[in-house]
Structure 1
Amino acid sequence: MADGISSFWGPVTSTTEWCEKNYVYSSYIAEFYNTISNIPGILLGLIGLITALRQRFEKRFSVLHISNMILAIGSMLFHATLQHVQQQSDETPMVWEMLLYIYILYSPDWHYRSTMPTFLFLYGAAFAIVHSQVRFGIGFKVHYVILCLLCIPRMYKYYIHTNDASAKRLAKLYVGTILLGSLCWLCDRLFCKEISSWPINPQGHALWHVLMGFNSYFANTFLMFCRAQQLGWAPRVVHFVGLFPYVKIQKPKTQ
């Protein structure tokens, strides 16, 4: 904790702290950079939501963008307070979001349409209940990584069956941001003692938040392109103000 600044939220009760000094800039924000670095994720989720609604994509994509925003808000609450309850508001949406990705990736080939969403919903609800009662440490991280790994085979399948160069670039940006973000996360976690002695802390976990905000946006946009292609909506990747890629579609007149 920084000298001269007290904690509004009281003692730290979360099971995890990161390589950033607490309450340096405000008594209301424990980890300042780890908190504000979630703002890009919220804004990118909002851009994706507006795109999905304006072009009348399937509701699953609106829910996906909203879940990205909820996750970023939960992460802000966690890093601002370092309280166990707020930690759950970060970690539980992480699992829910991955379950939603699994649904979107695998549902086109699922023959029993009601079975998969029912199972994923019950799994997510059961996890939330257990997570509210049990303090997970490394177990949560292993569980989350397993859910992420389940998505890779289908993402790769979509990539190799997509001929559009712009869509493939989205997939490459998705891979690049998650690899770079993971490197920042690991360095912040494993080398905190060394980093703390540097004149300037590079804020690896905050960089992870920023990169994962873009990572989710690239993943969502790529999945929207693939789904629109499956539905025959003639998708193409265009750019808003020359920067932010999004999917523009042309639905058949009968739709």
Structure 2
Amino acid sequence: MEDAVSSFWGPVTSTTEWCEKNYVYSSYIAEFYNTVSNIPCILLALIGLINALRQRFEKRFSVLHLSNMILAFGSMLFHATLQHVQQQSDETPMVWEMLLYIYILYSPDWHYRSTMPTFLFLYGAFFAIVHSQIRFGIGFKVHYVILCLLCIPRMYKYYIYTQDVSAKWLAKLYVATLFLSSLCWLSDRIFCKEISRWTLNPQGHAMWHIFMGFNSYFANTFLMFCRAQQLGWSPKVVHFVGVLPYVKINKPKTQ
């Protein structure tokens, strides 16, 4: 793509670009919409973090919300610069986040409690080192999809064992936003040449960021509900200003 204005960051060194013209609005931001579209994810993760801390959920959920924020900030850096080093600040946290989801999903039934976090930590560290030295293309995408697929059976198990209607709606919203975000991502990649000829670019990758921000929030909230139920904290789904769902718990006094 031809740059509309001069580039502050120099030539593009990332292994991929998206269907948005570079440096249209500022010489400091390569892909404007793909950069600012991460803001909703940061705000939603912040709301989730405040709720987790305020109600004293397990630390794993605070770390999960923080990982969503770190990923969004890394994505902003990547799309603002389109530099390979910043690409790692986007892709490596994506893998770390999925490893954290795997831990939260599977750890309640894991009998050897120290082995899972140790293995996942070493796996994440190994990936970060290798990824810093090797430029992955399609291999990264395949690897990331495999990690996502490992989470689906467990999410489905939680769904079928959850009787609360509001909690089930969280799971349905998770699936719906995942479908919409994937559709936007694929459309942006597959039909970029056609979209580039349109008067108005729908910014499919930016929409992917927005939908995935909500997707992460719904997933986190659903998992917080399920975990609170496992611990006997009498969770219920309530809504902030009647719109945004979150989990409210009632811990026994002994806890």
Name the TM-score, length of structure 1 as normaliser. 0.99
Counterparts of 2:244 and 2:225 in 1: how far apart (Å)?
14
Work out the CA distance in 1 between the residues paired with 2:243 and 2:47. Answer: 12
Shift of 1:195: 0.3
Cα distance in 2 for residues equivalent to 1:16 and 1:170: 33
Specify the code of the residue in structure 1 equivalent to 2:243. Answer: L
Equivalent-residue separation in structure 2 for 1:240 and 1:191 (angstroms): 38
Unaligned runs of 5+ in 2: none
Structure 1 position 2, deviation (Å) = 3.6
Where does residue 249 of structure 2 map in the other structure?
249
Q: Structure 1 CA distance, aligned partners of 2:22 and 2:199?
A: 17
1:163-178 equivalence runs, <5 A: 163-178=163-178
Amino acid at match of 2:225: F
Map of 1:143 onto structure 2: 143
Separation in structure 1 between the aligned mates of residue 172 and residue 155 of structure 2, nearest angstrom: 11
Correspondences of 1:105-116 after superposition (within 5 Å): 105-116=105-116
CA RMSD of superposed structures (Å)? 0.4
Q: Which residue number in structure 2 is paired with residue 20 of structure 1?
A: 20
In the TM superposition, what is the alpha-carbon distance from 1:176 to its structure 2 partner?
0.2
Which position in structure 2 is the counterpart of 1:203?
Answer: 203
Task: Quote the residue 1:68 is aligned against.
Answer: 68
Partner Cα separation in structure 2 for residue 62 and residue 16 of structure 1 = 32
Deviations 1:163-217 (A, max 9, x none): 0000000000000000010000000000000000011000000000000000000
Partner of 1:237: 237
Instruction: Give, in angstroms, the shift of residue 133 of structure 1.
Output: 0.1
CA distance in 1, matches of 2:155, 2:34: 29
Which sections of structure 1, spanning at least 5 residues, go unmatched? none
Aligned to 1:8: 8
CA distance in 2, matches of 1:241, 1:31: 33
| CA–CA separation in structure 1 for the residues paired with 2:29 and 2:250 | 46
Runs ≥4 residues deviating over 6 A: none
Secondary structure at 2:238's aligned position in 1?
Answer: strand
Q: Which amino acid aligns with 1:171?
A: A
The one-letter code sitting in structure 1 at the alignment partner of 2:92 is T
- The amino acid of 1:49's aligned partner reads L
What amino acid does structure 2 have at the position aligned with 1:66? L
Report the Cα offset of residue 13 of structure 1: 0.2
Match of 1:44 in 2: 44
Which residues of 2 match residues 45-194 of structure 1 at below 5 A? 45-194=45-194
In 1, distance between residues paired with 2:16 and 2:245?
35
Distance 1:192 1:240 in 2: 38
* C-alpha distance in 2 between matches for 1:48 and 1:16: 31
Structure-2 separation of matches of 1:162 and 1:10: 52
The residue matched to 2:246 in structure 1 has which SS? strand
Q: How many residues align?
A: 254
Equivalent position SS for 1:157: helix
Work out the CA distance in 2 between the residues paired with 1:217 and 1:74. 18
Give 1:243 deviation, angstroms.
1.3
Q: Which amino acid aligns with 1:175?
A: V
- Could you tell me the TM-score, scaled by structure 2's length? 0.99
Q: 2: CA distance between counterparts of 1:241 and 1:12? A: 43
Q: What are the Cα deviations for residues 56-106 of structure 1, in whole angstroms up to 9, with x where unaligned?
A: 000000000000000000000000000000000000000000000000000
* CA distance in 2 between partners of 1:63 and 1:144 (Å): 20
Paired with 1:145 and 1:190, the residues of 2 have a C-alpha distance of: 18
Indicate the SS of the match to 1:163.
coil
Q: CA deviation at 1:21?
A: 0.1
Letter in 2 for 1:64: L
What is the alpha-carbon distance in structure 1 between the residues aligned to residue 245 and residue 154 of structure 2? 22
Give 2:219's aligned amino acid: A
